[in-house]
Amino acid sequence: MSIDKNLLHLTEAEQREIQEIVASYPHPKAASLDALLLIQAKRRYISDDMLAAIATLIGISVAELDELATFYNLIYRKPVGQNVILLCDSISCWIMGRDAIECAIKQQLQIEVGETDREGQFTLLPIVCLGHCDHAPAMLINKQLYGDVTQDEVKSLLERHKHGETECSTP
């Protein structure tokens, strides 16, 4: 069997893990999302090379996989920082002052929504209601959920996640 050169972008361990996911579903295509999330957890975002490698392993076309990758909010097709801030912009958080939190974060990091700071530490993205509306405003930094966030607290929250975090940026 010839080895597809696309696969060289993934480690052997990664290839094995994806094959295991594929085997766990009755149809290979169903493994697409799990595979994308798995690789993103290790590599922070899905580059074109990764996309091609995953598609090859699953046995679908790159276009088919990209159609999914670009549809979902939590699959990143562009590089993101070490930490991803998902700040809720839905209704209850909006009522409770999430716009002021957004301003504080933007000011602290000197970025706009959708951007990554110069040090490559933080990316700020909007997110749909996090199911924490009774503690609005709410946000996720990586896997950590925060509620009742205040403007004053933004700086120290960000400090806490700076450098120290090694876990993946996908919630």
**Which residues bind to another protein, rule: CB under 8 A?**
24, 26-27, 29-34, 36-37, 60, 67-68, 71-75, 86, 89-92, 94-96, 127-136, 140, 143, 145, 147-148, 170-171
Binding site partner of 34, from ligand FES, another protein, none, Cβ cut-off 5-8 A by kind: another protein
Measured in degrees and rounded to the nearest 5, phi and psi for residue 74 equal -100, 5
Binding site partner of 97, from ligand FES, another protein, none, Cβ cut-off 5-8 A by kind: none
Site residues (CB under 6 A) for ligand FES?
Answer: 88, 90-93, 129-130, 132-133, 136, 138
Element (H, E) at 86: strand 83-88
Torsion sign, CA atoms 86, 112, 161, 48: positive
Query: Which CB atom, from 44 or from 132, has the smaller least distance to ligand FES?
Result: 132
Binding site partner of 128, from ligand FES, another protein, none, Cβ cut-off 5-8 A by kind: another protein
Token pair in block for residue 59: 């046995």
Query: Which CB atom, from 35 or from 136, has the smaller least distance to ligand FES?
Result: 136
Contacts of 156 (CB under 8 A, 6+ apart): none
Contacts of 121 (CB under 8 A, 6+ apart): 81, 82, 83, 109, 162, 163
Minimal distance, residue 90 CB to ligand FES, in Å: 4
Distance (Å, whole) CA 161 – CA 171: 14
Binding site partner of 20, from another protein, ligand FES, none, Cβ cut-off 5-8 A by kind: none
